[in-house]
Chain A
Amino acid sequence: MFQGLDLGILRGQVTAIMGPSGTGKTTLLRLITGQLQAGAGQVLVEGRDVSRLDRRELYAMRRRMGMLFQNGALLTDLDVFENVAFPLREHARLPERLVRTIVLTKLQAVGLRGAARLRPQELSGGMARRVALARAIVMDPELLLYDEPFAGLDPISMGVVLRLIRSLNDALGISSVVVTHDVNEISQIADESYILSGGRVVASGTPSELREHPSPIVHQFMDGLADGPVSFHYPAPDYRQQLLDRTEVA
């Protein structure tokens, strides 16, 4: 999937990873978290090769990470409060009063303290995403990974999530990696952006540097153009010929 891919995530920054569908952005996140292992090359987190960690070391590393899944991935048999409390209950033997305080603080940060006793089924997409964000930061991670955090959100929810990513990054002093298609939105908060295509980085820099980039792929992606090096159509036989072909049924 990747060929000669080389990118770095700087501490304390919001790094955006963009690119056309199917370029492996989510795969890259899975490589960082160790859910997938690279066939070749290295993925280093704080200088340690993720693929060389044993299970115990991998889990220790993941405790210092948080990840926001595209659909939230909330545990459907637990309510909002218990979802956020889940990592605390699994990893830390804290008094119930302290767990309550931490969970309410995180829910307040994402504006959903009042929804603590709702079930995941009762939440809108945007709310579910914010609960998942509260859960991702409950263990005070050093690295937060976001997989398509804006997909399917209305403009209000999108604005809220966008501001949350930036404010949490700055307030908690963490590093954030955001995989997204939403160029305009992420450009407002990203310190550094990478555009992937064909399994490699085709451009990197600040959002304004990317807009001035000479590469036609970058130009096509940043401006959302149908025509360009990245074809809109999946490879297919000649359109006219296929329509006229009476022997082909389906």
Chain B
Amino acid sequence: MIALAQELLGSLARFLERLGGLSRFTLSVLRQCPAALLRPRLVVEQIYNAGALSLVIIMTCGLFVGMVLGLQGHDLLQRFGSEESLGMGAALSLLKELGPVVTALLFAGRAGTALASELGLMRATDQISAMEIMAVDPMRRVVVPRFLGGVIAMPLLTAVFITVALFGVQLVGVQLLGVDQGQFWSQMRGAVELDDVREGLLKGLAFGVACSLIAVYEGYNAEPTAEGVGRATTRTVVISAVVTLVLDYILTAIML
């Protein structure tokens, strides 16, 4: 019993230590953001790495998520004789929930792991130490541009995901299952408000901040070994997924 209590206390202490480390790291990143924005080339490079290079997976997954949503939505709405509401229902669920959440999970798996492993390898191969010796602050030169790249890319990827997914819903609902095209689009236009779009993009931005921060933190603080880099990459995906879902609940509760 005492051993169990000691173990629990130890775990709590380690958790608090990590939380403290993450808080200090976050403050340091935020403090250096203005200076990093003065060198836009570095940030643009990272938007390309985190955003453009994730486009294929985002668009592919968006298309299939939309198609599945079309099938399931049509089946459900048919029971109530309101298949024409498919466009409205799909658009709202994609804008408010599915779009930002699935994009964040995909972002964590593609761009987040790439960020964490790149920074971890830079640490393991002394590139971070070399920068410090050259009197170049690795936070400003490496970490912050990557963080900003992820933060800017995430809402854009969310928008792309939602757009492609809506095309998938239309493909299945209208082209395959015969929902009236006019009804599909007009109901969607009538129900979706600017606030819904804003909610989706705000969630995308919030998930972008969380996922990018977790990725750069885990990578930058990875143990400088192959195993350490692997662990940091795994932690990035797991923590990002959990934080995204928890954050989603909190944001939804606030925005409703």
Residues on A facing B (Cβ under 8 Å): 33, 35, 59-60, 62-63, 65-67, 69-71, 73-76, 86-87, 90-91, 132, 135, 139
Contacts and interface: CB of A to CB of B under 8 A. Distances in A.
A132 B132 CA distance: 15
Given A76-B125, A90-B141, A69 B135 contact: no
Contacts of B134: 62-63, 86-87, 90, 135, 139
B127 A76 contact: yes
B133 interface: yes
B46 to A, nearest CB: 11
Interface in B109-139: 121-122, 125-127, 129-137
B135 A73 contact: no
B168 to A, nearest CB: 36
A86 B135 CA distance: 11
Contacts of B131: 75
Contact of B126 (A60, A71, A135): A71
Contacts of A91: 135-136
Given A62-B135, A66-B133, A74-B130, 19 more contacts: A35-B129, A35-B133, A59-B135, A62-B132, A62-B133, A63-B135, A65-B133, A69-B129, A69-B130, A70-B126, A74-B127, A76-B122, A86-B134, A86-B136, A87-B134, A90-B134, A90-B136, A91-B136, A139-B134
B133 A33 contact: yes
For the complex of A and B, list the 8 residue pairs with the smallest distance between their C-beta atoms, beginning with the closest.
A73-B130, A73-B126, A59-B135, A62-B135, A67-B133, A63-B135, A90-B136, A69-B126
B141 A73 contact: no
A71 B129 contact: no
Interface residues on B, range: 10 to 19
B127 A75 contact: yes
Nearest to A70: B126
29 contacts: A33-B133, A35-B132, A35-B133, A59-B135, A59-B137, A60-B135, A62-B132, A62-B134, A65-B133, A66-B133, A67-B130, A69-B126, A70-B126, A71-B125, A71-B126, A73-B125, A73-B126, A73-B129, A75-B130, A75-B131, A76-B121, A76-B122, A76-B125, A87-B134, A87-B136, A90-B135, A90-B141, A91-B135, A135-B134
Contacts, number: 51
Nearest to B126: A73
Contacts of B126: 69-71, 73
Contacts of A70: 126
Contacts of A59: 135, 137
Nearest to A30: B129
Contacts of A76: 121-122, 125, 127
A63 B127 CA distance: 17
A66 B136 CA distance: 13
A76 B129 CA distance: 14
Contacts of A66: 133
A65 B130 CA distance: 12
A75 B121 CA distance: 11
Nearest to B124: A71
Contacts of A132: 130
Contacts of A139: 134
Contact of B127 (A60, A65, A73): A73
A66 B130 CA distance: 9
Contacts of A60: 135
A70 B137 CA distance: 21
A228 B137 CA distance: 45
B3 to A, nearest CB: 26
Interface in B225-246: none
Contacts of B136: 86-87, 90-91
A91 B137 CA distance: 11
Contacts of B141: 90
A59 B135 CA distance: 5
Nearest to B130: A73
Contacts of B129: 35, 69, 73
